[in-house]
Amino acid sequence: MDAGLLQLPPLRFLTCGSVDDGKSTLIGRLLHDSRLIPEDTLAALARDSRRHGTTGGEVDLALLVDGLEEERQQGITIDVAYRHFRTSQRGFVVADAPGHEQYTRNMATGASNSDLAVVLIDARKGVLPQTRRHAHICSLLGIRHVVAAVNKMDLAGFAQEAFERAAGDFLRFAAPLGFQTVVPVPISARFGDNVVARSANMRWHRGATLIEHLETAEVGPEGERPFRFPVQWVNRPDADFRGLSGTVASGRVAEGDRVVVAASGRAGLVSRIVTADGDLSAAAAGDAVTLVLEGDLDVARGDLLCPPDRRPAVADQFAARVLWMDEEPLLPGRQYLMRMGALWTPCSVTAIKHRIDVDTLDERPARSLDLNAIGFCNLSTARPVPFDPYAENRATGAFILVDRFTDRTAGAGTVAFPLRRAANIHREDALVDKAARVALTGQKPFILWFTGLSGSGKSTVAKLAERRLNRAGRLTYLLDGDNVRHGLNRDLGFTDADRVENIRRVGEVAKMFVDAGLVVLCAFISPFRAERRAVRELVEAGEFLEVFMDTPLAECMRRDPKGLYAKARAGAIPNFTGLDSPYEPPEAPEITLRTEGTAPEAQVEALLERLKALGHPI
Amino acid sequence: MVNAKAASSPHLKRLEAEAIGIMREAVAAFRSPVMLYSVGKDSGVMLHIARKAFYPARLPFPLLHVDTGWKFREMIAFRDRIAAEHGLDLIVHVNKDGVRRGIDPFASGSALYTQVMKTEALKQALDAHGFDAAFGGARRDEEKSRAKERVFSFRAAGHGWDPRNQRPELWGLYNTRLRPGESFRVFPLSNWTERDVWDYVLAEGVPVVPLYLARPRPVVRRGGTWIMVDDERLPLAPGEAPETRSVRFRTLGCYPLSGATESRAETLEAVVAEMRDARTSERQGRLIDSDEEAAMERKKREGYF
Lowest mean pLDDT segment, chosen from A27-41, B186-200, B265-279 = A27-41
3-state helix, strand, coil in chain A (%, to 5): 30, 30, 40
- Number of CB atoms found within 10 A of residue A171's CB: 15
A182-197 confidence digits (pLDDT tens): 999 999 998 999 998 8
Which of A82, A313, A618 lies closest to B150 in space, CA to CA? A82
Domain map of chain A by residue range? 11-216, 229-306, 314-422, 434-613
B116-160 confidence digits (pLDDT tens): 999 899 999 999 999 999 999 999 888 766 777 889 999 988 888
What pLDDT is recorded for position B30?
96
What pLDDT is recorded for position A1?
33
Examine the pLDDT at A173 and tell me if it is beyond 60: yes
B199 CB within 8 Å of a chain A CB: yes
Query: Would you identify the CATH topology of the domain A229-306?
Result: Elongation Factor Tu (Ef-tu); domain 3 (2.40.30)
Whether B165 is in a domain gets the answer: yes
- What value of ipTM does the predicted structure carry? 0.88
Q: Is the peptide bond before A386 cis (omega within 30 degrees of 0)?
A: no
What pLDDT is recorded for position B60?
96
Lowest mean pLDDT segment, chosen from A42-51, A483-492, B246-255 = A42-51
Rounded to an integer, the average pLDDT of A66-73 is 53
What pLDDT is recorded for position A580?
84
The Cα of B161 is separated from the nearest Cα of chain A by a number of Å equal to 13
Give how many domains chain B has, as a whole number. Answer: 2
A498-526 confidence digits (pLDDT tens): 777 788 889 999 999 999 999 999 999 99
Q: Please tell me which residue in A114, A199, A526, A581 is annotated as part of the active site.
A: A526
Confidence of residue A565 (pLDDT cuts 50, 70, 90): very high
The residue of chain B nearest to residue A241, with distances taken between CA atoms, is B56
Biggest distance spanned by C-alpha atoms of chain B:
59
Q: Which domain holds residue B132?
A: 9-206+294-301
Q: Which amino acid appears at position A576 of this protein?
A: F
Whether B2 is in a domain gets the answer: no
Whether B260 is in a domain gets the answer: yes
From first CA to last CA, the distance across chain A in angstroms is 93
Contact A399 B173 (CB under 8 A): yes
What pLDDT is recorded for position A524?
94
The residue of chain B nearest to residue A72, with distances taken between CA atoms, is B294
Dihedral in degrees, nearest 10, Cα atoms B299, B301, B302, B305: 60
What is the per-residue DSSP string for A348-359?
Answer: EEEEEEEEE-TT
Rounded to an integer, the average pLDDT of B82-100 is 93
Examine the pLDDT at B215 and tell me if it is beyond 50: yes
Residue A544: strand, helix, or coil:
strand
- Number of CB atoms found within 10 A of residue B296's CB: 21
Q: Which CATH number fits domain A434-613: 3.40.50.300, 3.20.20.60, 1.10.1200.10, 3.40.50.620?
A: 3.40.50.300
Residues 237-276 of chain B with CB under 8 A from chain A are 272, 276
What pLDDT is recorded for position A53?
61
What pLDDT is recorded for position A2?
42
Q: Which residues lie below 8 Å from residue A161, measured CB to CB, with a gap of 6+?
A: none
CB-CB: which of B13, B17, B175 is closest to A409? B175
Residue of A87 and A45 predicted with greater confidence: A87
Confidence of residue A36 (pLDDT cuts 50, 70, 90): low
B63-87 confidence digits (pLDDT tens): 999 999 999 999 999 999 999 999 9
Q: Are residues B76 and B214 in the same domain?
A: no
Examine the pLDDT at A87 and tell me if it is beyond 70: yes
From first CA to last CA, the distance across chain B in angstroms is 30
Is A264 one of the catalytic residues? no
Contact B11 A275 (CB under 8 A): no
Q: Which residues lie below 8 Å from residue B304, measured CB to CB, with a gap of 6+?
A: B114, B118, B119, B122, B296
The Cα of A278 is separated from the nearest Cα of chain B by a number of Å equal to 10
CB-CB: which of A41, A395, A400 is closest to B175? A400
Rounded to 5 degrees, what are φ and ψ at A519?
A: -90, 120
Dihedral in degrees, nearest 10, Cα atoms A272, A273, A278, A282: -120
Please tell me the number of Cα atoms within 13 Å of B35 on its side-chain side: 30
Lowest mean pLDDT segment, chosen from A52-56, A82-86, A332-336 = A52-56
What pLDDT is recorded for position A57?
57
What pLDDT is recorded for position A55?
63
- Burial label for B236, CB within 10 Å (0-12, 13-18, 19+), is exposed
Q: Are residues B231 and B94 in the same domain?
A: no
> A234, A240 in Cβ contact below 8 A?
no
> B252, B224 in Cβ contact below 8 A?
no
Rounded to an integer, the average pLDDT of A19-26 is 79
Q: Are residues B236 and B197 in the same domain?
A: no
Please tell me the number of Cα atoms within 13 Å of B300 on its side-chain side: 23
> A386, A312 in Cβ contact below 8 A?
yes
CB-CB: which of B14, B51, B145 is closest to A9? B14
Q: Which amino acid appears at position A157 of this protein?
A: G
B301 CB within 8 Å of a chain A CB: no
- Parallel, antiparallel, or unpaired for β B63-67 and A544-550? unpaired
Q: Are residues B123 and B246 in the same domain?
A: no
- Parallel, antiparallel, or unpaired for β B152-155 and B183-186? antiparallel
Examine the pLDDT at B292 and tell me if it is beyond 50: no
Spell out which residues of chain B touch residue A408, defining contact as CB-CB under 8 Å.
Answer: 167, 175
Percent of chain B whose pLDDT exceeds 90: 60
| Bridge partners, B185 (sequence order) | B134, B153
Confidence of residue B6 (pLDDT cuts 50, 70, 90): very low
Rounded to an integer, the average pLDDT of B39-52 is 96
The reply to whether A434-613 shares the fold of A314-422 is no
What pLDDT is recorded for position A311?
93
Spell out which residues of chain B touch residue A83, defining contact as CB-CB under 8 Å.
Answer: 140-141, 147
What pLDDT is recorded for position A39?
67
The rounded distance, in Å, linking the Cα atoms of A518 and A520 is 6
What is the per-residue DSSP string for B25-54?
Answer: HHHHH-SSEEEE--SSHHHHHHHHHHHHHT
Confidence of residue A222 (pLDDT cuts 50, 70, 90): low
Residue of A537 and B89 predicted with greater confidence: B89
Maximum mean pLDDT: which of A109-113, A346-350, A457-461, B193-197: A457-461
Examine the pLDDT at B184 and tell me if it is beyond 90: yes
Segments of A540-595 assigned E as strands? 544-550, 591-594
- Parallel, antiparallel, or unpaired for β A258-261 and A267-274? antiparallel
What pLDDT is recorded for position A413?
95
The rounded distance, in Å, linking the Cα atoms of A466 and B231 is 95
Q: Are residues B159 and B249 in the same domain?
A: no
A288-337 confidence digits (pLDDT tens): 999 999 977 889 999 999 999 999 999 999 999 999 988 888 988 777 89
For an interface test with B, which of A14, A79, A402 has the most B Cβ atoms less than 10 Å from its Cβ? A79
What is the DSSP code (8-state) at residue B257? G
Examine the pLDDT at A537 and tell me if it is beyond 70: yes
Residue A259: strand, helix, or coil:
strand
Examine the pLDDT at A412 and tell me if it is beyond 70: yes
Percent of chain B whose pLDDT exceeds 70: 87
CB-CB: which of B21, B56, B280 is closest to A247? B21
The residue of chain A nearest to residue B25, with distances taken between CA atoms, is A232
Residue B236: strand, helix, or coil:
coil
Q: Are residues B72 and B221 in the same domain?
A: no
Rounded to an integer, the average pLDDT of A364-392 is 91
Rounded to an integer, the average pLDDT of A78-96 is 82
Confidence of residue B282 (pLDDT cuts 50, 70, 90): low
Whether B4 is in a domain gets the answer: no
Examine the pLDDT at A67 and tell me if it is beyond 60: no
What pLDDT is recorded for position A257?
96
The residue of chain A nearest to residue B19, with distances taken between CA atoms, is A288
Q: Are residues B191 and B53 in the same domain?
A: yes
Task: Report residue A52 CA to chain centroid gap.
Answer: 40
Q: Which helix (H) or strand (E) holds A474?
A: none
Q: Are residues B45 and B160 in the same domain?
A: yes
The rounded distance, in Å, linking the Cα atoms of B49 and B28 is 16
| Binding annotation of A for GTP | 17-24, 96-100, 151-154
Q: Which helix (H) or strand (E) holds A339?
A: strand A335-340
Spell out which residues of chain A touch residue B199, defining contact as CB-CB under 8 Å.
Answer: 4-5
Which of B55, B10, B16 lies closest to B201 in space, CA to CA? B16
The rounded distance, in Å, linking the Cα atoms of A30 and A147 is 15
Rounded to an integer, the average pLDDT of A410-418 is 94
Lowest mean pLDDT segment, chosen from A187-196, A408-417, B221-230, B282-291 = B282-291
Confidence of residue A108 (pLDDT cuts 50, 70, 90): confident
Q: Are residues B125 and B246 in the same domain?
A: no
Q: Which CATH class is domain A314-422?
A: mainly beta
| CA-angle at A540, arms to A539 and A545, nearest 5° | 75
Confidence of residue A156 (pLDDT cuts 50, 70, 90): very high
Residue of B302 and A237 predicted with greater confidence: A237
CB-CB: which of B170, B195, B199 is closest to A109? B170
Rounded to an integer, the average pLDDT of B202-210 is 94
Distances (CA, A) of B32 to A62, A232, A564, B26, B301: 41, 17, 62, 9, 23
Q: Which CATH class is domain A11-216?
A: alpha beta
Contact A91 B190 (CB under 8 A): no
Q: What is the mean pLDDT of chain B?
A: 87
Buried/exposed code over B81-93 (b: 16+ C-beta within 10 A; e: otherwise): ebbeeeebebbeb
